[in-house]
Structure 1
Amino acid sequence: MFAAIASGNPLQLSTEVPNSGGLQHTIVLSSTKPKSYSHISLFILPNVTFPSEFAGTVYFKLSPTEEFKLFGYLSAEKPSAIFKVKLPNANMNSAADPGDGLGEIDMEDDTPGGGLPSSNISELIIGISIEPKDQAILKLQESKAKQTALQGSSSLVLARSGTNSIATPGQLARVYPLLTQQLAAKIVQHAYNYLTGFLDPQGNVSIKRFDTWWDKFKARLENDAQFLDEVTQD
């Protein structure tokens, strides 16, 4: 009934989940090639008549042991969707393009030493559940609202288990090395931009100015951490 294509790879058909009465389907994306960025196209097969009063909610997970996470839907009015998949160590500065899904599928790595995990995009499993359209749309709206409240954005993140246990700067740097570097650079640049306004003729600045910057920085970070995204070199 459904099919998916990971960019640069062959089409793969869905299979019915046993004992679901044809209401649940899965697609395991195997034989795929890891890339810095990739896209998955998911669609209803052309010879399938999909009832207009139903929708197929689309879920993703990275391995059979993890839980599915909701990302979008298919229907008679929207028979296809494109999801952007970001592999570990991808260029974080590239513009996000979530396509027709709820958001980007962010495949983060929690393996020691960083880099590509031992099992990559080939683990990606797509689950599709056919249910009444009104019910599906409500579920999607609730999921999107919940994610927005938790993350402060409309992107849904599909991350490997274990990333929620980050408790120290070192753990953060191991799981998200590139993002940690970018965060450090933003903080240093913010301090530089502030302190250069107080240089004396010899190019020095009082340590009290640094203390003032730090107090202001912590207060603003607590109120609106996203201001760091706007920090640029003068």
Structure 2
Amino acid sequence: MFGCLVAGRLLQTNLQQIDETHAIFELPSAGSINHICVFLLGTVPFPDGYGATVHFFWPGKGFQLLGMLSNEKPSAIFRLRGTYTAQTTNTHAVFSGAASDTSASDVTAFLGLSIEPLPQIMQEVAVLPSAVAKASNPTADATLMAERIVKHLFNYVSSFVGGNPTALSPDFLVPMGVIAKWYESFMTKVRNTGIGFLEREE
């Protein structure tokens, strides 16, 4: 039902079921993980009125609620590095039973999924900092992000032309190799540092 993708690694579909409503993905060498994507495979939808909360569990430190999935939101990407905040409630203590002792240099963490009623999920994720920030106007946030990405591409491409980029002819041709090089560079930067650099380029 679920898939998990750690940036730079192979797709994981080796979900381990703990009980009827909880399951985990093992994440070996977790210290090197920056971003993780979790999604529905599209084979089995959630029952009506249900979704799943997504948790990151670090042995010895507890778990952190990352967000949620539903039939309307079948995938999500989460940044793990630099954002870990242990939570101590016992609501999802079931994930702690999966922990094993490992050395600090080779920690196996876990991505936990808990199937719950959507109203309960919405209450849980409403307190996340990202949810509070996006609640104001998600469409405006998406538009602003798209604008920043396009601006980054425009600035990159115009650096190959020289002179005044705003005075370029609309018929000016850009080799596809330049766009491909920008894409590779852009995605590498996003994987390594997140999207903060887009905000600094204002």
TM-score by length of 1: 0.43
Higher relative contact order (CA 8 A, sep 6+): 2
Between structure 1 and structure 2, the one with the greater Rg is 1
